[in-house]
Chain A
Amino acid sequence: MIVPFSHVLILAGILFVLGAVCALARRNLIMILIGVEVMLNAAGLALIGAALKWRQLEGQIFVIFIMAVAAAEVAVGLALIVYSQRRTGTLEADRFNLLKG
Chain B
Amino acid sequence: MTLYTVIFYLLGLVTVAATILAITRSNLVHAVVYLVVSFFATAMLFYLLGAPFVAILEVIIYAGAIMVLFLFIIMMLRPEKSPVKAGTRVRRWLPALVLAGITLASLILLIVAAPGGATPLLLAAASPREFGRALYHHHWFAVEVASFLLLVALVGALYLGRRDTGTAAGSLEEQP
Interface size class of A (residues with CB under 8 A): 35 or more
Q: List B contacts of A15 (CB < 8 A).
A: 15-16, 19
Report the bound CA distance from A64 to B140 in whole Å: 12
Report the bound CA distance from A18 to B59 in whole Å: 21
Q: Please judge, given known A-B contacts A18-B23, A34-B22, A82-B77, whether A76 and B157 are in contact too, CB under 8 Å.
A: yes
Contact of B23 among A34, A63, A64 (CB under 8 A): A34
Query: How many Cβ-Cβ contacts under 8 Å join chain A to chain B?
Result: 245
Q: List B contacts of A25 (CB < 8 A).
A: 92-93, 96-97
Tell me the dominant secondary structure on chain B's binding face. helix
Q: List B contacts of A71 (CB < 8 A).
A: 61, 65-66, 150, 153
Q: List B contacts of A20 (CB < 8 A).
A: 96, 100, 103
Q: Please judge, given known A-B contacts A31-B23, A69-B149, whether A48 and B54 are in contact too, CB under 8 Å.
A: yes
Chain B: CB-nearest residue to A49 = B49
Contact of A74 among B69, B112, B116, B149 (CB under 8 A): B69
A43 CB to nearest B CB, Å: 11
Contact A98 B49 (CB under 8 A): no
Q: List B contacts of A57 (CB < 8 A).
A: 126, 130-131, 134-135
B66 CB to nearest A CB, Å: 5
Contact of B169 among A4, A19, A76, A87 (CB under 8 A): A87
Report the bound CA distance from A33 to B32 in whole Å: 11
Chain A: CB-nearest residue to B79 = A91
Contact B82 A52 (CB under 8 A): no
Q: List B contacts of A60 (CB < 8 A).
A: 51, 53-54, 126, 131
Chain B: CB-nearest residue to A89 = B173
Contact B28 A45 (CB under 8 A): no
Report the bound CA distance from A55 to B121 in whole Å: 10
A60-84 CB mask vs B (1 if < 8 Å, else 0) is 1101110111111111101111110
Contact B172 A81 (CB under 8 A): no
Report the bound CA distance from A15 to B80 in whole Å: 28
A79 CB to nearest B CB, Å: 4
Contact B123 A13 (CB under 8 A): no
Contact A21 B51 (CB under 8 A): no
Interface residue ranges, A against B (CB under 8 Å): 1-11, 13-15, 17-22, 24-28, 30-31, 33-35, 37-38, 41, 44-45, 48-49, 51-53, 55, 57-58, 60-61, 63-65, 67-76, 78-83, 85-92, 98
